[in-house]
Copies of this chain bind each other. A is one copy, B any other.
Amino acid sequence: MMRYKATISYDGTKYVGWQRQKNGLSIQEVLETAMQKVFGCEVECTASGRTDAGVHAEGQVIHFEVETGIPADKIPFSVNNCLPEDISMLACEVAPKGFNARFSAKRKTYKYSIYYSRFPLPMLEHTHYRSTVPMNVEAMKEAAQKLVGTHDFKCFMAAGSNIKDKTYRTMYSVDVEGKDNVVTITVCGNGFLYNMVRIMAGTLYYVGIGKLTPKDVGRIVAQKDRAAAGKTLPAKGLCLVSVEYGDGDQNTSEDSLS
């Protein structure tokens, strides 16, 4: 058996998320079904991490093992022939020694997109959160810098999470960009707690509409005050942009990125 590393992209609108579930169709199920057609046997795909229902991916990374005569770089052509329009394989290679899509991941980049409009804009609606008031992008940029660095992000974790300790994460960059009526928040970190990006986005959004100040955000991070942080923005505005792996690609992450 050979292990492969592949990059996939999906529009998560119609799916229950990455992971197989009994209550609906998942990206994983559709992908594994396509692979079964191509390779003639069951294939299990392991992703860098789950994405929730409605979350999109431009560059999710997976690994899978299979015995096949198809050269690695031709696998995307074969697999895409069996995939619907909203899921696509963008690259495939033989995995480096010891590579694990989940445990070898060093950094992940997510983006959260918000647009301002009094009324829904159908061309943006399934990939953006809509704000009915304009946002102060400069204030959001300033607040974003309070999130950069290594912090205990307990206050940016969904209430239902069962992680108690190990809530420290390092954010290498948190960038806010405004263009026309769209604001994009791009976060690169070594790992994310459950719903963390959506709560960070909600907190920066509150700064954008004047419900919080950049100073408040610094205080929330320092005091780990979940109640003071912003609301969890909806899944549809979130997109996993890319996953980076180290040169060695051994299992070096202590905790799993999620």
Q: Which of B9, B118, B119 contacts A122 (CB 8 A)?
A: B9
Cβ contacts under 8 Å, A90 to chain B: 117-119, 121
Give Cα A76 to B121, complex, Å. Answer: 12
B122 touches A87 (CB 8 A): yes
Give Cα A80 to B89, complex, Å. Answer: 36
A177 in contact (CB, < 8 A): no
A67 in contact (CB, < 8 A): no
User: Chain copies in the assembly?
Assistant: 2
Cβ contacts under 8 Å, A85 to chain B: 120, 122, 125-126
Cβ contacts under 8 Å, A42 to chain B: none
- CB-based nearest B residue for A83: B120
- Which residues of A118-149 have CB atoms within 8 Å of chain B's CB atoms? 118-123, 125-127
- CB-based nearest B residue for A125: B85
What interface size band does chain A fall in?
20 to 34
- Which residues of A92-135 have CB atoms within 8 Å of chain B's CB atoms? 117-123, 125-127
A86 touches B122 (CB 8 A): yes
B122 touches A88 (CB 8 A): yes
- CB-based nearest B residue for A117: B90
The minimal Cβ–Cβ distance linking A124 to chain B, given in whole angstroms, is 9
Give Cα A120 to B87, complex, Å. Answer: 8
A58 in contact (CB, < 8 A): yes
Cβ contacts under 8 Å, A76 to chain B: 118-119
Give Cα A127 to B125, complex, Å. Answer: 13
A10 in contact (CB, < 8 A): yes
Give Cα A144 to B91, complex, Å. Answer: 34
Cβ contacts under 8 Å, A89 to chain B: 119
The minimal Cβ–Cβ distance linking A79 to chain B, given in whole angstroms, is 10
Cβ contacts under 8 Å, A88 to chain B: 119-122, 125
List, sorted by A's number, 19 A–B pairs whose CB atoms are closer than 8 Å.
A9-B121, A9-B123, A10-B122, A11-B122, A11-B125, A56-B122, A58-B121, A76-B119, A80-B120, A85-B122, A85-B126, A86-B122, A87-B122, A88-B119, A88-B122, A89-B119, A90-B119, A91-B119, A123-B127
Knowing that A9-B122, A9-B123, A56-B123 are A-B contacts, what are 9 other residue pairs whose CB atoms are under 8 Å apart, sorted by A's residue number? A9-B121, A11-B122, A80-B119, A85-B125, A87-B122, A88-B119, A90-B117, A90-B118, A90-B121
